[in-house]
Amino acid sequence: MHIDPSLVEWSRAQFALTALYHWLFVPLTLGLTFLVAIMETIYVKTGDEWWKKTTRFWMGLLAINFAIGLATGIIMEFEFGTNWSNYSWIVGDIFGAPLAIEGLMAFFMESTFFAVMFFGWDKVSKRMHLLSTWLVAIGSNLSALWILVANGWMQHPVGIRFNPDTARNEMVDFWAVLFNPNAYSKFLHTISSGYVLASLFVISISAWYLLRRRDIQFAKRSIMVAASFGLIVSLFNVTTGDDSARHVAQDQPMKLAAMEGLYEGKSGAEIVTFGILNPSKKVGDKQEPFLVKVAIPEGLSLLSYHRVDAYVPGIRELVYGSKEHGILSVAEKMKRGKEAVAALAAYKAAKKAGDTAQMAAAKKRFEANSAYLGYGYLKTPLQAVPSVPTTFYAFHTMVGLGTWFVLLFIVILYFTMTDTLERHRKWLWAALFSLPLGYVAQEAGWITAEVGRQPWAIQDMLPVGMATSNIVTSPVMITFWLFAILFTALLIAEVKIMTTQIKLGPVELKEDSHV
Amino acid sequence: MEYTDAIIWYASWPVLIYIAYRFVLLNMKHHAKMERLEEYEQQCGGAVEPKACEKF
């Protein structure tokens, strides 16, 4: 099968564009639903109408974000059919299951109760309303669970069997897919990063009120809730990040090497905390990989394998192989992959001819090499290396900003609890400008995960180039630009509506004479 | 395949939400005291009518 390379690039660009925009909306929903649920719980427990009004203000902003996030998410699901039909054919039986559960269980749940939450304030009892708010929070996060189970499976495919008769993968162990280490670590790291973003959102907007010296009590109380929540979840986010990195080390060593710019493998590998990559560095040459770097000795070995002397393979060993460390070269994997591809073709031919003996022989040959099937479609060994600069800088941006957010939550919470926040205006400005940084960190995390696993749509099994639909390029190009315009318009609409709401402020609180 | 790790990690999600919620409540109590103290200082800190401080 020949697929036009420009089709692959345009399909990738379109999916990346959709995911990038979708990911501007989703993490805020994941976290803000819980913050709103906590605020409403305080209202129901204390009976203080002030908290009800505070809850309603943040809920209004959540509703705007939720609606626009929905539009981008639905488009992504359709793209699996329109742009990635080969992918859907080969692994639809596995990938489709979590997506179907997401729709039936989580999405319906969050959408149904969202209506009760948003429109039902005076129509259902206090407790029923509170239950609805919690179910929206749980539902939206369960939605993320099933999507990330699917994504985790793409990073580390488990619980499947390849059926040579249909040339499709079939799920043989649902629990292996659900409990896949890549699935739970991705889920927890992703949702907790969403909680961090939502906490930043509330703190940042509240800081703006404090800087403008308006709605002071509302802003201080909102910051108190968000900074408390943010501190706990950001510490959890660090823990899940560590766990996630360990799974990457085990299942996607090339991605780890790219994340760290590790060209030469070593025992007791250092971790680079800050670095500028040498742009002329090539795999296997003698040039230094960094122009400048600050590194912690043995840090990478310790974090990846929990041993300071652990061996971490570099890009060179992963491409050219290492007998000493039992690493097969990509060239060898490609040879075995091509053997698997040829055996599959022979199986099909024998089946057509009704030759059962040939079928059995071809099947045996295929099974012996099927672990490297995806490598059979690569053209050169260096194709197995993702973009090192993109992965390295995206990863370090995410980690650096994540560390800053922990510090910010500690400082803001301390000033809030000592009632000195208004005096520290520099920190209020820092909090205000940390909101866009939160979005940068979100996108950087997504880029690390997805660019770092290239060239694979499914790790070691299906390269991206084999996953696209066999269609002409022009419709993909046209829809790329249409989506780019549409999503940008949606984003501008969201920002405009939100800023209008924020400028209005918590109107109901102002109408209340005792505040 | 051993699933114990996965089950423990998944279970940490509701635990995280509960801990974060309790932490918010703990800080809210302290924050409410701070607010009352601030209000007290504003109303009773200087020469004021004794009646104004009765609610404290």
Query: For residue A120, what pLDDT is reported?
Result: 87
A93 vs B51 pLDDT, higher one: A93
Q: What letter does residue A371 receive in the DSSP assignment?
A: G
Q: What is the pTM of this model?
A: 0.91
Here the tokens at position A441 are: 């960190």
Under 8 Å between Cβ of A62 and A92: no
Q: How far is CA A303 from CA A248, A249, A300, A446, B53, in A?
A: 11, 9, 5, 21, 58
pLDDT band of A97, cuts 50, 70, 90: confident
Is B6 touching A (CB cutoff 8 A)?
Answer: yes
- What does the block give as tokens for A182? 């890549």
- pLDDT of A129: 94
pLDDT over 80 at A325, yes or no: yes
CB-based contact, B8 to chain A, within 8 Å = no
Pairing of strands A290-296, A271-277: antiparallel
pLDDT for A105 equals: 82
Confidence at residue B2, expressed as pLDDT on a 0 to 100 scale: 81
How is residue A201 written in tokens? Answer: 């959102």
* Three-class SS state of A456: strand
Whose structure tokens read 């279970």? Answer: B11
Nearest to A283 by CA among A317, A332, A329, A251: A317
Buried b vs exposed e over A223-245: b needs ≥16 C-beta within 10 Å? bbbbbbbbbbbbebbeebbebbb
Write the Ramachandran bin of B47: left for phi over 0, alpha for psi from -120 to 50, otherwise beta: beta
Asked if residue B50 has pLDDT above 80, the reply is no
Inform me whether the C-beta atom of residue B11 falls under 8 Å from chain A C-beta atoms.
Answer: no
The answer to whether A22 and A194 have CB atoms below 8 angstroms apart is no
From the number of C-beta atoms within 10 Å of its C-beta (0-12, 13-18, 19+), residue A204 rates as: buried
Q: Which of A119, A130, A121, A116 is nearest to A36 (CA)?
A: A130
Q: Give the residue with greater pLDDT, A278 vs A509.
A: A278
Nearest alpha-carbon partner for A53 in A390, A491, A506, A404 = A506
pLDDT of residue A372: 92
For residue A469, what are the β-bridge partners? none
Residues of A in Cβ contact (< 8 Å) with B20 = 34, 38, 195, 228-229, 232-233
A306 within 8 A of A295, measured Cβ to Cβ: no
* Separation between Cα atoms, residue A54 and residue A159, nearest integer Å: 46
B47 — pLDDT class (breaks 50, 70, 90): low
User: pLDDT digits over A161-201, tens only?
Assistant: 888 888 888 999 999 999 999 999 999 999 999 999 999 99
**pLDDT of amino acid B46:** 57
Nearest CA in chain B to A420: B34
Burial of A143 (0-12, 13-18, 19+ CB in 10 A): buried
Phi first, then psi: what are they for A471, rounded to 5°?
A: -125, 175
Q: Is B7 on the interface with A (CB under 8 A)?
A: yes
Q: Is the pLDDT of residue A214 over 80?
A: yes
Q: Say yes or no for a CB contact (<8 Å) between A179 and B21.
A: no
Of A34, A41, A224, the CB nearest to B27: A224
Between A6 and A208, the higher pLDDT residue: A208
The alpha carbon of residue A247 is apart from the nearest alpha carbon of chain B, in Å, by: 12
Average pLDDT, integer, range A215-222: 91
Q: What pLDDT sits at residue A463?
A: 92
Sequence-distant (6+) residues with CB within 8 A of A161 are: A169, A170, A172
* C-alpha to C-alpha distance for A176 and A267, rounded to whole angstroms: 32
What is the percent of chain A where pLDDT is above 90? 73
What are the pLDDT digits (tens) for A390-399?
999 999 999 9
Tokens for A472? 């002409």
Closest C-alpha among A61, A69, A59 to residue A23 = A69
Residue A104: DSSP 8-state: I
Q: What pLDDT is recorded for position A362?
A: 92
Q: How confident is the model at residue A513 (pLDDT cuts 50, 70, 90)?
A: very low
Per-residue pLDDT band at A62 (split at 50, 70, 90):
very high
Average model confidence (pLDDT) for chain A? 91
Binary contact (A141, B34; C-beta < 8 A): no
Q: Which amino acid is at A180?
A: N
Q: Check whether A71 has a pLDDT greater than 90.
A: no
pLDDT digits (tens, 9 = 90+) for A400-436: 999 999 999 999 999 999 889 989 999 999 999 999 9
Residue A121 contacts residue A129 (beta carbons within 8 Å): yes
Read off the tokens for A282. 């090539």
User: Using the beta-carbon criterion (under 8 Å), do B31 and A224 form an inter-chain contact?
Assistant: yes
Query: pLDDT-based confidence at B49, cuts 50/70/90?
Result: low
* CB-based contacts of A194, cutoff 8 Å, min separation 6: A26, A27, A28, A29, A30, A31, A144, A442
Distance CA A462, CA A41 (A): 47
Q: Do A228 and B3 touch (CB under 8 A)?
A: no
pLDDT (average), residues A340-354: 91
* Contact between chains at B21 and A41 (C-beta distance less than 8 A): yes
Nearest to A34 among B7, B17, B26 (CB): B17
Give yes or no for residue A44 having a pLDDT over 50.
yes
Look up tokens 């992918």; give the residue: A87
Contact in structure between A195 and A36 (CB atoms under 8 Å) = no
Q: Is the peptide bond before A313 cis (omega within 30 degrees of 0)?
A: no
Is residue B28 within 8 angstroms of chain A, CB to CB? yes
